[in-house]
Structure formats: C-alpha cells, structure tokens
C-alpha cells in the first residue's frame, strides 16, 4: 500500500454518532435499565487485611424487597483473573467471586440484590460479620521483606503461563532481561546517574463509572449488557467464574462513557450474572464514585531505579531500569504493565548495554490494572528525567542529547525481541518514524532557543521549559486478533459488524472511514455495529492502542474482499472483465464511461442473477507493533514562595502515521495530555494508616476542568506506516506519558528542583526549594 490522495480517510468528517449523542438519545448501559431491575449493592470490607470468622446474612435475606444475598458461602469458588486479556492470561489467577479473606478496604464481603437502593443499603447494614484482623502491608518495600504478611496464602493462587510467580513472597510477577553488559557499559561511561523515582496511584475517572446489568432469557441464557472494553474476554471470564459454558452467555456493549483501561477488567459482570441466575430478574449494578476509586482499578504505582551512563560526546553506554510495581490486592495486568515499562521506553534510544528488571508486588491497597500508557507512563517519568540529568552532567542541551540518540526509521532495537507482553517479544525494524520532525516542530512552538539554565533565573516567579520524547506501540504483535464482517444492502449501504470496541474514542467512525475509503463510497453508507458477542465477530477489544491499527486492518481486509465481489458482479452486469473496472463515488465504472451504481449491483446480486449477498468476514493478527512517537514540551511557571506550579503552555508533537480522522487524533492527544497534566500536578490517593482511601470523591481528588486548561498546541506530524491501514499507527495512549517528565524537567529548568515522586504539589516543590533542590526520596502512595 502506498501513499495517495484519500477521499474519506485523513478527513475530519462528522462522527457517525455525533448527533445522537449530542441529542442525548439512549446510548449507555444506564439508559437501558429495565424498570423492574433489581439493584445490586456490595458490602465492602472495613479492614485492609482480615479473615471473616463468621458471617450471618439471614436478617438481610429476610428483609422485604431483598431477593438474594451472595457471599463466599453460596457461590462457586473458582480462581481466576479479572484481567481482560487473551487466553491463557499473563495475569495470575488470584481472585474469587467472593472469598473469606479480605485483602483491601472495600474488598467484596457480600452482595445484595433488592427492589431499591434504599432496601439494598439497609440489607447491607443487616449483614453481621465478625473479622479476624490481620496485619496489613501497604508499601512495596515492606511487602518484599522476609516475614511480611502474605496476601495470597490460598493454595489456588497460581500463574497460568510459565513465568516467575511467588505468592508466598507477595511476588505477582517478575521479568529480568539483559542485553550486552550493563556494568561494562556503566564502567565505559564518562558520567553516570543512579537515581530513584516513584509513580503514584491514580484512577482513570471515566465519567461513566463501571456499570453492568444482566437477565436470563427464555432460553436460559445470561444476557449481560455492560460498559466494557473487552466484551469477548468478559464472556469467557464470566463463563469460567460461574462455571457455565461460554455459549450460555451473551455480552452486549452499548456506548461507553470512558474507559481508559479501567474497563479492560471484569469488575462487576460476574456478580450481575450470578445475581440474574439466582433471582431470575433483571439486575443492575453501578459503582459509586468512591467504589470506582477503590474497587475498580488504578494506575500501578511503581518504584523505579534508573542507572544510565554516557560519554561526553553524548553516546549512551548503559541503561539499567528496575521497575517494581505495587499491584495491590490482586495481580491483574501486573506482569504485562511492568513488561511495558521496559519494552515501550528502552528501545527509544540507541544503547548496547541494557538491563531491565521488572516486578509486581502484592499489597493491601487497591489493585492496579490497565491504564492508558500501561507502564510506559511510569517508565517515561524515570527515563526522561534521567536523560535530562545525564545531559546536564555532560554539558549538552537535552534536546540535542535526545536528537543524537533516538531511534530512526530503518533501525531496530534488541529490546523488541527480548521483551514482549509476558513473554519474548517480536523482532521488528522501525518502518516509520518522524520523531526528529516532532522534536523540531515542538521546539519551535515552545521557543526552546530562548531557554536558559535555572542558574540564570532570579525572582519569585520563574519560568522553565522541559521536554520528553516518547514512544508506545500499536497492538500486541503475534497475540492480539481483530475481526470484522460486512454485508451489502439493496441501497448500496453496508453493515459493518465489529468486535472492536469504541469506548468514546470515535473508533466506530475511524473504522467506518477505512471501510468507506476502500469501498469507494461515503461514510454515511457504512452502518456500524459494535459489539455483541452473539452478533459481531471476535475481537480482543479496545486496549494496547490496537483499534485503528489492528481492527482497522481487519476492516480493511474485509472491505477489500467485498470490493472484489462488487467488481465481479459489476463485470457481469457490464459484460466485461473486472480488471477493466474501477470504483468511484459508489459506482463501478468502465473505462468507456459505462457504469452501474452500488445499489444496482446489490439488487442484481440479490434478485437477478447468480444470486448471493455480497459480504464477507476477515480476521487479522498483526506481526508488528509500529510505535507512534512524540516529543512533548512544557513551559511552566514556579512560584518559589509557595511552590505552586502553573503550566503556561504545553506542546505535543506526535507521529501517528496517517491520522485517519485528524480531529479525533488531535482529541486523543489533547485528552491524554490533560490526563497526564492532572497526574503530574493534582491527582493523588490519600490513605489513612489503616489503608482506607480518604479522598475518593471529585471534591477532594482533583482533576482539571476546561477552565483549568493551559494553552495547548497539538502538532500531528504525519508519516506513512506501510504495515498499517492507509499508513496509520496508534495515537490513543502515548500522549499521557509526556507531562510527568516534561513538567518535572521544566520545574528543574525553572528553579533547580528535581522531583522524583509525583504529584508535583506546591508543598513538595516548596520543601525541595527549602532543601536546596531535592528532598530525601521515599516511596509514596
């Protein structure tokens, strides 16, 4: 496939669902709640670590309006993972629908299904529980000590793929990889750094929290309508957890009110399915915001140690990255997130001596999971901060240092082969990279040439400019699969059925654009349906920045097959060879000017001759994961009296190949950058000494709103990724990785303060200023 002029692709067309969403038409799970649905409420553990000595649900069960109470004593005990990943999952099996052991404040004790919220909440109060309180452990370093409380002491806990797993030592995952010789590389360096970093807790904060409902149909099948990024994984894991056949379950995904990775997890669906079976009534469960913070999933907090060496000429001789995540009470996505900390950042700069050690450690705090950036966010903070530190030590401009070392088109990195997602990776050369142009364009926009060192700045308010370079991936090669099917209708329209999951990104529109471009028709002729496990073909779902690249190729493939069928029927109608025909404006056109419309072709194939419905299905697995690249720049102002940091301007220049829908691609970057700025400056989990989150609401846990936006500039620097659909790569995740390091570097450039733990609160900056530039490092939350 080569570059050419596009008619539908690369155009900012109106989203196919824009009008219905703007008009507030029913679209989300909550919009379809049956009037007679029972409400589910969950009793959460008050203790971070405890064993239930006794539980009495009889009073709750006897209350009028209560239809069922579930707890560990009356449901199957089947160990599984909640991670919505491909089978066999790289995440350990360490979770039960209900258990007698409590592993975090908010852990499932018992669930009630009742006629109303009020009755359900009253029933929760009527459940009598006696706990044996156990010693909890909250910090990574404490959980790794000999003799630390063991969080998963149940015999069933296990890894289901051959990877290191040691629940008795609270180790949920481990990966160790060396290329060359780190120590030799450090010894060969003129300068080295050996510094710690800590990435803090954060939540995805989708506007729509986790919400699911279920009922049992007349064929005794369980119909689950749920806000999920992974309908097919959801079906498989619910079947496993309830010990029912997959064929008995249908999962329907309507519109999703934001996911960002949080909904790549089976959080509610097992319970709603079980409740539907028990009560034979429709049941509905929606998390409160507090539950969303505590009991859904979070970004994995991570302790980092980075060692780096370089020669004075700017050659990087060694990179060592130790990343240890706090995976919380379960090991969901623990291995793969920490793998990504290595695989998504280490190939960015050329280096012959690389060591990566990744671990995931259980604690009695909320569980980590998939979150936009997926480990790369954490690594980018450490890596890109250390790049600035090294650059300063060798006296080189950090932009120049990055420019001379970053990977380029045609190059490869041994890291691609050495590190995959829970297993060895896949060799690949970089087939598109415009990072150099991203750096240049971003630097110009931010005014990098005027940047001065912090030592040249005086006064109370000091401005600083910082940067970070980034890469991510596009789907998981040799693992992820997408599929699409298509059929043509009498009026020349097409049904496009996809397992791909639009979680608010606009991927339904993007994928329809790919189909319309290939078919030679307009966007309005593509009727998209996604996703329903009974109706649409299999797709792993929306994660790993895969939808445009992977599902897009499945759509492109099926559209190519359908196009061939259209040409064949057209040739029959025009009495010529298919090779003499072209397609333009929903017509098959012969070189002599004769033509037939798509509608005529569809009618002919359905009713006139050699009758068949034009349509097909296609699956796609990818063999590459071409990285998108980005250069981010932050211009900040630090109030040195109070420590307050204000982002004055933020520039994100990104290479995502061909942006299929440029405006939606820009929206992905802007949303991700805002997400990252909040993570850098305001978002944090506060816990009391018992492990209870004390700020689980939007009054206290602060996110930016539109009125807080700094000046933002997004620059899409196009490249053409020959392995992607119409040259496209991913764009969804990469943007969130930049703000933490870019702002940290900008703060240093403003006032000489080096921050190694987020968020960069005013108090932290002030204390660092008081301490002369840096406060003692400690693991946070």
Contact residues: another protein, CB under 8 A:
641-642, 644, 681-682, 684, 686, 695, 698-700, 702-705, 707-708, 761-763, 766-767
Q: How far is the CB of 298 from another protein (least distance, A)?
A: 17
| Shortest Å, Cβ 365 to another protein | 16
Main-chain dihedrals φ then ψ at residue 331, nearest 5 degrees = -95, 25
Residue whose entry in the numeric block shows the structure tokens 């196919």? 16
Beta pairing, strands 587-590 & 302-310: unpaired
| CB 762 to another protein: min, Å | 8
Query: Measured from the CB atom, is 63 or 703 closer to another protein?
Result: 703
Nearer to another protein (CB atom), residue 298 or residue 547 = 298
Nearer to another protein, 418 or 681 (CB): 681
Which token pair is 758? 């987020």
DSSP state of 545: T
Among residues 270, 345, 259, 264, which one has the least CA distance to residue 308?
345
Strands 526-529 and 494-498: parallel
Q: Which helix (H) or strand (E) is 32 found in, with range?
A: none
Which 3 state secondary structure label does DSSP give 327?
A: strand
Q: Nearer to another protein by C-beta: 214 or 681?
A: 681
Phi/psi of residue 140, each to 5°?
Answer: -55, -50
Distance between CA atoms of residues 637 and 643, nearest Å: 10
Length of the chain: 781
Buried b (16+ CB within 10 A) or exposed e, 5-43: eebbbbeebebbbeeeeeeeeebbbbeebeeebbbbbbb
Least Å distance between CB 775 and another protein? Answer: 13
Q: What CA–CA distance (Å, rounded) separates 650 from 524?
A: 36
C-beta of residue 38 within 8 angstroms of C-beta of residue 116: no
Query: Strands of 50-56's sheet, edge to edge?
Result: 101-102, 50-56, 128-133
CB of 181 to another protein, least distance (A): 44
In the complex, minimum distance from the CB of residue 732 to another protein, in angstroms, rounded to a whole number: 24
Kindly state the helix (H) or strand (E) to which residue 270 belongs, with its residue range.
Answer: helix 269-279
Closer CB to another protein, residue 657 or residue 759?
A: 759
Taking the complex as a whole, the smallest distance from the CB of residue 256 to another protein amounts, in Å, to: 24
Contact 104, 691 (CB under 8 A): yes
Between 398 and 691, name the residue whose CB sits nearer to another protein: 691
- In the complex with another protein, the residue whose CB is nearer, 11 or 767, is 767
CB 236, min distance to another protein, A:
40
Closer residue to another protein in complex, CB, 561/690 = 690
Helix or strand (DSSP H, E) at 374: none
Q: How far is the CB of 699 from another protein (least distance, A)?
A: 7
From the CB of 703, what's the least distance to another protein, in Å?
7
- In whole angstroms, what is the distance from residue 716 CA to residue 667 CA? 11
CA distance 750 to 453: 8
Beta bridge partners of 211: 286
Q: Are 150 and 144 in contact (CB under 8 A)?
A: no
Helices (H), 298-412: 334-343, 376-393, 398-405
Closest CB to another protein among residues 500, 634: 634
Helices 334-343/376-393 angle, 10° precision: 30
CB 741, min distance to another protein, A: 20
Nearest to 740 by CA among 672, 681, 655: 681
Q: How far is the CB of 681 from another protein (least distance, A)?
A: 7
Least distance from C-beta 11 to another protein, angstroms? 35
CA distance linking residue 40 with residue 314, whole number of Å: 60
How many angstroms separate the Cα of 299 from the Cα of each of 205, 208, 344?
A: 11, 18, 16
Of 499 and 691, which CB lies nearer to another protein in the complex structure? 691
| Phi, psi torsion values for 368, nearest 5 degrees | -75, 165
DSSP state of 148: P
- The answer to whether the beta carbons of residues 567 and 588 sit under 8 Å apart is yes
Q: Which residue spans within 90-151 are E strands per DSSP?
A: 101-102, 108-114, 128-133
Residue 457 or 644 with smaller CB distance to another protein = 644
- Could you tell me the strand order of the sheet in which 302-310 lies? 171-179, 354-362, 316-328, 302-310, 191-199
Closest to another protein by CB, 680 or 746 = 680
Specify the residue, 506 or 759, whose C-beta has the smaller distance to another protein.
Answer: 759
CB 171 within 8 A of CB 165: yes
Nearer to another protein, 161 or 686 (CB): 686
CB 93 within 8 A of CB 173: no
Query: In the numeric block, which tokens belong to residue 161?
Result: 């793929």
Min CB(69)–another protein separation in Å: 24
Cβ distance 189 to 352 under 8 Å? no
Nearer to another protein, 593 or 699 (CB): 699
- In angstroms, what is the minimal distance from the CB of 766 to another protein? 7
> Is 626 or 643 the residue whose CB approaches another protein more closely?
643
Q: Whole-angstrom Cα distance, residue 11 to residue 522?
A: 12
Q: What are the structure tokens assigned to 617, written together?
A: 């299905």
CA quadruple 150, 156, 160, 162: dihedral sign: positive
Closest distance of CB 263 from another protein, Å: 25
Q: What is the smallest separation between the CB atom of 758 and another protein, expressed in angstroms?
A: 13
Q: How many helices (H) and strands (E) does the chain have?
A: 19, 26
Closer residue to another protein, CB minimum distance, 421 or 684? 684
What's the min distance (Å) between Cβ of 678 and another protein? 8
Which of 221/767 has CB closer to another protein?
767
């Amino acid at each position: 496939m080569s570059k050419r002029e596009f008619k539908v692709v690369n155009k900012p067309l109106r989203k196919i669902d824009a009008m219905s969403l703007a008009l507030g038409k029913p679209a989300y799970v909550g919009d379809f709640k049956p009037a007679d649905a029972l409400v589910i409420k969950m009793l959460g553990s008050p203790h971070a670590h405890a064993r239930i000595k006794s539980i009495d649900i009889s009073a709750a069960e006897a209350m009028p309006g209560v239809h069922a109470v579930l707890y560990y004593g009356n449901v199957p005990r089947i160990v599984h993972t909640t991670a919505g990943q491909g089978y066999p999952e790289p995440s350990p099996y360490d979770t039960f629908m209900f258990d007698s052991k409590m592993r975090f404040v908010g852990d499932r004790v018992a669930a009630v299904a009742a006629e109303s919220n009020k009755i359900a909440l009253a029933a929760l109060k009527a459940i009598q529980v006696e706990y044996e309180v156990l010693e909890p452990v909250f910090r990574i370093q404490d959980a790794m000590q000999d003799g630390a409380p063991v969080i998963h002491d149940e015999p069933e806990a296990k890894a289901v793929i051959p990877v290191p797993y040691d629940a008795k030592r609270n180790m949920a995952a481990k990966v160790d990889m060396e290329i060359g010789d780190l120590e030799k590389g450090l010894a060969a360096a003129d300068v080295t750094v050996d510094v710690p970093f800590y990435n803090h807790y954060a939540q995805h904060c989708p506007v729509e929290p986790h919400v699911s409902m279920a009922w049992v149909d007349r064929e005794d099948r369980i119909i689950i309508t749920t806000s999920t990024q992974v309908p097919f994984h959801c079906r498989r894991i619910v079947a496993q957890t309830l010990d029912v056949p997959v064929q008995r379950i249908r999962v329907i995904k309507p519109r999703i009110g934001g996911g960002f990775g949080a909904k790549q997890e089976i959080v509610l669906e097992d319970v709603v399915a079980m409740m539907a079976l028990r009560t034979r009534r429709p049941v509905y469960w929606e998390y409160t915001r507090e539950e969303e913070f505590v009991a859904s999933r979070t970004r994995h907090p991570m302790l980092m140690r980075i060692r780096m060496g370089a020669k004075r000429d700017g050659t990087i001789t060694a990179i060592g990255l130790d990343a240890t995540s706090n995976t919380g009470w379960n090991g969901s996505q623990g291995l793969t997130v920490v793998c990504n900390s290595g695989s998504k950042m280490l190939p960015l700069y050329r280096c012959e001596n690389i060591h990566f050690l990744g671990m995931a450690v259980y604690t009695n705090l909320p569980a980590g999971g998939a979150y936009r950036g997926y480990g790369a966010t954490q690594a980018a903070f450490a890596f890109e901060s250390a790049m600035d530190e090294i650059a300063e030590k060798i006296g080189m401009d950090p932009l120049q240092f990055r420019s001379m070392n970053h990977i380029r088109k045609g190059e490869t990195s041994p890291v691609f082969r050495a590190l995959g997602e829970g297993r060895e990776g896949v060799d690949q050369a970089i087939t598109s990279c415009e990072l150099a142009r991203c750096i240049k364009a971003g630097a110009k926009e931010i005014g990098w040439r005027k940047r001065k060192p912090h030592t040249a700045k005086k006064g109370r308010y000091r401005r600083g400019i910082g940067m970070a370079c980034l890469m991510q991936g596009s789907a998981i090669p040799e693992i992820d699969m997408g599929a699409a099917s298509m059929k043509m209708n009498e009026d020349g329209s097409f049904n496009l059925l996809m397992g791909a999951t639009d979680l608010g990104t606009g991927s339904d529109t993007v994928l329809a654009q790919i189909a319309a471009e290939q078919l030679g028709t307009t966007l309005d002729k593509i009727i998209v349906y996604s996703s329903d496990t009974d109706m649409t073909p299999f797709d792993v779902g929306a994660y790993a920045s895969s939808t445009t690249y992977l599902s897009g190729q499945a759509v492109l493939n099926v559209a190519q097959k359908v196009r061939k069928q259209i040409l064949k029927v057209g040739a029959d109608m025009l009495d010529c060879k298919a090779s003499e025909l072209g397609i333009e404006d929903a017509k098959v056109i012969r070189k002599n000017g004769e033509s037939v419309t798509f509608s005529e072709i569809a009618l002919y194939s359905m009713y006139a001759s050699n009758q068949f419905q034009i349509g097909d299905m296609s699956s796609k697995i990818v063999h590459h994961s071409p990285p998108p690249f980005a250069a981010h720049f932050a211009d900040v102002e630090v109030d040195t009296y109070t420590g307050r940091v204000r982002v004055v301007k933020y520039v994100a220049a990104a290479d995502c190949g061909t942006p299929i829908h440029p405006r939606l691609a820009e929206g992905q970057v802007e949303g991700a950058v805002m997400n990252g700025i909040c993570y850098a400056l305001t978002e944090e989990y506060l816990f009391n000494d018992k492990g209870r989150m004390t700020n689980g609401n939007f009054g206290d846990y602060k996110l930016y709103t539109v009125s807080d936006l700094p000046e933002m500039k997004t620059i899409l620097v196009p490249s053409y990724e020959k392995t992607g659909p119409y040259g496209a790569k991913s764009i969804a995740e990469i943007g969130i990785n930049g703000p933490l390091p870019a702002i940290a570097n900008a703060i240093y450039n403003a006032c000489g303060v080096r921050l190694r733990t987020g968020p960069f609160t005013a108090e932290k900056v002030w204390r660092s200023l008081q301490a002369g530039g840096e406060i003692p490092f400690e693991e946070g939350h």
